[in-house]
Amino acid sequence: MASAGDPPTGPRDAADQNFDYMFKLLLIGNSSVGKTSFLFRYADDSFTPAFVSTVGIDFKDTAGQERYRTITTAYYRGAMGFLLMYDVANQESFTAVQDWATQIKTYSWDNAQVILVGNKCDLEDERVVPSEDGRRLADDLGFEFFEASAKENINVKQVFERLVDVICEKMNESLEPSSSPGSNGKGPALGDAPPPQPSGCSC
């Protein structure tokens, strides 16, 4: 058990440490594509083969239903980046990407950045979604694309770092008065952008 004098150990303590910006990022995609595993690999460098479904709402199935709109909106509000994930060994999860993308466009901030991630690329023998199909869909949707594996630790760090990079690039563009389409020259035209939470340093 931690006491007052102990060094920081947990996520809450980590949140108290210095950082440049805090962004809300969401991992979305069908159940069992590996969202939790991906996050654990990044945060803890750990992986467990057991599957315990995260308890929550299936936003893909509830999104069209008016009674869930408030919850869905609240969940997406303020998110500056998304990892939209499918499983390269699961066709249904790939087919669902279009629905998830529509949901992002409906509920999130216009400038939210999205990376399409084909997870479980270690399962080469079970692969049903060719890399080219993933890349083509990402191109069509205007997203960046990575294949990755939470299990084998392939491209996990790279995906998170790329997402943060593109968010920072977008923020910097928005902060340049002349390059912003909605700018009136009087200052940054962040519009309805969710404000990042700076701690004093540049990105």
Ligand X SMILES: Nc1nc2c(ncn2[C@@H]2O[C@H](COP(=O)(O)OP(=O)(O)OP(=O)(O)O)[C@@H](O)[C@H]2O)c(=O)[nH]1
Selected binder of ligand X within 20, 109, 111, 123 (CB under 6 A): 123
* Tokens linked to 101: 């993308």
Interface with ligand X, residue 54, by CB under 6 A: yes
For the purposes of burial, counting CB atoms within 10 Å of the CB of 153, is it exposed (0-12), middle (13-18) or buried (19 or more)? middle
Interface with ligand X, residue 103, by CB under 6 A: no
* Tokens linked to 111: 């400038």
Is the distance from CB of 150 to CB of 119 less than 8 angstroms?
Answer: yes
Query: CB of 73: closest distance to ligand X in angstroms?
Result: 20
With CB under 6 A, what is the number of residues at the site for ligand X? 20
Separation CA 88–CA 71 (nearest Å): 29
- The mark string for 62-101 relative to ligand X (x by CB under 6 A, - otherwise) is ----------------------------------------
Pick 119 or 174: Cβ nearer ligand X? 119
Of 31-39, 69-77, 98-106, 160-168, which segment contacts ligand X by CB under 6 A? Answer: 31-39
Interface with ligand X, residue 10, by CB under 6 A: no
Query: CB of 62: closest distance to ligand X in angstroms?
Result: 14
One-letter identity of residue 201: C
One-letter identity of residue 182: G
Separation CA 59–CA 12 (nearest Å): 27
Pick 137 or 154: Cβ nearer ligand X? 154
Of 14-22, 108-116, 130-138, 144-152, which segment contacts ligand X by CB under 6 A? Answer: 144-152
Nearest partner of 159 among 118, 193, 196, judged by Cα: 118
From start to end of 58-174, where are the E strands? 79-87, 113-119, 144-147
List contacts with ligand X (CB under 6 A). 31-37, 48-51, 53-54, 119-120, 122-123, 149-151
